[in-house]
Amino acid sequence: MTRPRVVIAGAGFAGLTCARALKNAPVDVLLLDRNNYHLFTPLLYQVASAVLDPGEIARPVRQLIRPLHNADFLLANVTGVDFEQRQLLTDHRPLAYDYLVLASGSQSDYFGNASLVQHAFGLKNLDEGLAVRNRILMRFEEARWTDDRERRRTLLTFAVVGGGPTGVEMSGALAELTRLVLSKDYRDLDFDLVRVVLLEAAGWLLGTFAAPLREAARLSLEKKGVEVLLKAKVADVTESSILLADGHEIPASTVIWTAGVRASDVGSYLGQPLGRQARVQVLPTLQVDGHPEVFVIGDLAGPGPINSEGGPLPMLIPVAMQEGRHVAATIKDVLRGYGATNFLYKDPGIMATIGRNSAVAQLGPVRLTGFLGWLMWLFVHLINVISFRSRIVVLVNWAWDYLFYDRPIRLILRAADEKATRPK
C-alpha cells in the first residue's frame, strides 16, 4: 500500500524540523531546496567577518536527513503550486503531494530602491556572506594602492544599514576585525581612516528589546569604535557614497543592507492573500484557507499564528522550529482521524551579541548585558550549531580568535568575487 507523501519546500529551520518530526510517521517525506545545504543563519555574520568558514555553519541536507529512513531530498527551485492537481511546481517537473508544507523562508527587502539592489550587499545566504568577506578584504588591499587620502577613507568606510540583531552583530564584528586583526596586517595604513558606521532609521537600536538593553547595545558598539547613527534613513546608495533622506552624504564604498526583510517569492506564486512583509496569511492551524492539506510555516507564514500578546509572530528560528513540529504533529493527527489544532508559540527569549565580551539577552523576566549576556549567547549558539563536528570546530575558532586576536580565514576567494546573485 502506498503511503501518503508529504512534500516539504525548503530545508531551513522550519522545513528540516518538520521532516525530522515526521521520522516515525507512516508517510514518505520529500524535502526540496534550491541549495543543497541547511544554513545556521545566526552565525552568518561570522562568515562575513572572517571568523568562521562556510562549512562550519552549513551542512548538506542529504547528510542531515540520512537518519530519516522515510525521507528523501531533491535540489530544485520551487516555482508554484497547482492546488487543484495537488502538485508542487518546480524548475524540473511537478511533484505530486498528499500534504504540502511550504517553508521557503524570507529574503532581503530593498523596498524597490534600485540603488540598493545594485550597490548594497544583503546578508541572507552563504553566497552573500562570502561576498561581504571578499569585499571587506578587497577594500583593504585596494586602499594600500592609493595615495589619495579621501579615496582611502571612502574605501575603508564600511556602512551597515539596519539596527536589528543582524546589523548590530555585523557592525560589532566588523569593528573588531578591522581594529584588532587587520590593523596588524596593514601596518602602513592609517587606521584613523577606517570607519564602521551603523545606520538605523528609528531612534534606537534593537527595537524588539527592552529599552535598557537597546541602550546597552548602543554603548557597547560605540566602545568598540562603531559610529552609531540613529534616525538615519538611507535614500540612495552609489558606488562610493550613501545619501541619507535628510540630505547628509557619507562617503562609503561598502554598504551592507540588513534593514529590510520580506517573505520568499514562493508566497506570491500561491494566489493567496499576503500580509505584512509579503507573508502568506494562514489560518491559526498554519493551514492555507480552503486547502487543509497545505501548510505554510516559518518566515513565509503570517499573520495567522499569533503570539501570547496577540501580534504576528517574528521571523525567528524558535518560531520556525515550533511551527515545523506543530505541522508534523497535525499531519500525524489527521492521519489518525483527528482535526488540526491551533499553533501557540512559546517564546524562549531573544539575544544579540556585540563582538567579544558583550551581548544583550532578554529571556522572559531575565535581562542580561555585557559579559554575562555574552556567555549566555556563546552557550546557546554553541549547543544549537548544526552538528557535533561543527561545535568542536566553531569552539576552536572562537577560542583562537579570542586568545590571539586572529582570524585565519582572511581569504579573498575569486569565485565569490562578484556581488552574489540575489535569491529569486
Ligand X SMILES: Cc1cc2nc3c(=O)[nH]c(=O)nc-3n(C[C@H](O)[C@H](O)[C@H](O)COP(=O)(O)OP(=O)(O)OC[C@H]3O[C@@H](n4cnc5c(N)ncnc54)[C@H](O)[C@@H]3O)c2cc1C
Interface contacts to ligand X, rule CB under 6 A:
9-15, 32-35, 41-42, 44-45, 77-78, 103-105, 123-124, 165-166, 264, 266, 298-300, 315-318, 320
Provide the terminal-to-terminal Cα distance of the chain, rounded to the nearest Å: 38
Q: What is the largest CA-CA distance in the chain?
A: 75
Q: Which residues pair with 262 in a beta bridge?
A: 107
Kindly state the smallest distance separating residue 127's Cβ from ligand X, in Å.
11
Contact residues for 45 (Cβ-Cβ < 8 A; gap 6+): 123, 129, 166, 169, 170, 173
β-pair type (95-96, 5-9): unpaired
Q: Which is nearer to ligand X, 237 or 261 (CB)?
A: 261
Q: Which is nearer to ligand X, 9 or 160 (CB)?
A: 9
Kindly state the smallest distance separating residue 3's Cβ from ligand X, in Å.
24
The C-alpha cell at 65 is: 536527513
Q: Which is nearer to ligand X, 299 or 401 (CB)?
A: 299
β-pair type (99-102, 95-96): unpaired
Kindly state the smallest distance separating residue 348's Cβ from ligand X, in Å.
9
Contact residues for 133 (Cβ-Cβ < 8 A; gap 6+): 47, 48, 49, 50, 409, 416
Kindly state the smallest distance separating residue 421's Cβ from ligand X, in Å.
13
- Distance (Å, whole) CA 196 – CA 160: 8
Nearest CA among 360, 380, 378, 357 for reference residue 368: 360
Position of cell 532578554?
362
Number of neighbouring beta carbons within 10 Å of residue 69: 9
Kindly state the smallest distance separating residue 124's Cβ from ligand X, in Å.
5
DSSP conformation letters of 387-398: -HHHHHHHHHHH
Q: Which is nearer to ligand X, 258 or 397 (CB)?
A: 258
β-pair type (87-90, 99-102): unpaired
Q: Which residues pair with 32 in a beta bridge?
A: 9, 74
The C-alpha cell at 386 is: 548544526
Half-sphere exposure of 195 (CA within 13 A, CB side): 22
Q: What DSSP character marks residue 279?
A: P
Kindly state the smallest distance separating residue 187's Cβ from ligand X, in Å.
32
- Distance (Å, whole) CA 113 – CA 115: 6
Kindly state the smallest distance separating residue 250's Cβ from ligand X, in Å.
23
β-pair type (106-108, 234-237): unpaired
Which is the catalytic residue, given 169, 176, 200, 323?
Answer: 169
Q: Which is nearer to ligand X, 10 or 373 (CB)?
A: 10
Contact indicator for 6, 101 with CB cutoff of 8 Å: yes
CA distances (Å), 276 to each of 280, 301, 311, 320, in order? Answer: 9, 10, 12, 17
Continuous H helices in 100-164: 114-119, 126-145, 149-155
169 is catalytic: yes
Contact indicator for 205, 226 with CB cutoff of 8 Å: no
Q: Which residue is nearest to ligand X (CB)?
A: 12
Kindly state the smallest distance separating residue 128's Cβ from ligand X, in Å.
9
Q: Which residues are catalytic?
A: 169
